[in-house]
């Protein structure tokens, strides 16, 4: 009886592992829009006095890359999954860390799928 129960538990656990979903670039776009676009969007409206201006993260990348790479993250083709995860979880320069209570590991994988066009390299 114990052996049968153990076998059922192991089988259920393996089925759960097999049932994990692959990252969703579509969901990644949604999560990116919520958490990343305020700083890394193409532009934001800053008010009547200033009009439209680059988002702060995009403006910082414009200064850093001086046109050698796109400042808008969604236009980049050189980002790797490992780099994105490192920056999101650990921060970089002025970018703060992002806790798992804000962006879960699963959502981060979705963002990576979105930004890397599915090539999480």
Give residue-wise pLDDT tens across range 39-78: 998 876 666 666 777 788 999 999 999 999 999 999 999 9
- Mean pLDDT rounded to a whole number for the chain: 83
Asked if 121 contacts 80 with a C-beta cutoff of 8 angstroms, the reply is yes
Q: Cα separation of 115 and 101, whole Å?
A: 21
Q: How many domains does the chain have?
A: 1
Q: What is the pLDDT of residues 86-95, one digit of tens each?
A: 999 999 888 9
Assess if residue 78 is contained within a domain.
yes
What's the CATH code of the domain at 89?
Answer: 1.10.760.10
SS3 content of the chain, % helix, strand, coil (to 5): 55, 5, 40
Kindly state whether residue 5 falls inside one of the protein's structural domains: no
User: Is 68 inside a domain boundary?
Assistant: yes
| pLDDT for the residue numbered 46 | 63
**What range does the domain containing 41 cover?**
23-115
Q: What is the percentage of the chain residues whose pLDDT exceeds 70?
A: 74
| DSSP β-ladder status, 52-53 and 44-45 | antiparallel
Residue 11 lies in a domain: no
What pTM value is reported for the model?
A: 0.74
The reply to whether 18 falls in a domain is no
Tell me, yes or no, whether 86 lies in a domain.
yes
Is residue 6 situated within a structural domain?
A: no
């Amino acid at each position: 009886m114990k052996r049968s129960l153990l076998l059922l538990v192991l089988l259920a656990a393996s089925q759960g592992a097999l049932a994990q979903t692959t990252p969703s670039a579509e969901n990644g776009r949604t999560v990116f829009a919520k958490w990343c676009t305020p700083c890394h969007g193409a532009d934001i409206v800053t008010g009547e006095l200033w009009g439209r201006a680059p988002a702060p993260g995009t403006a910082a990348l414009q200064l850093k890359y001086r046109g050698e790479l796109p400042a808008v993250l969604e236009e980049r083709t050189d980002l790797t999954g490992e780099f994105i995860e490192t920056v999101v979880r650990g921060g970089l320069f002025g970018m703060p860390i992002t806790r798992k209570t804000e962006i879960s590991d699963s959502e981060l994988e979705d963002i990576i799928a979105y930004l890397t066009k599915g090539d999480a390299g």
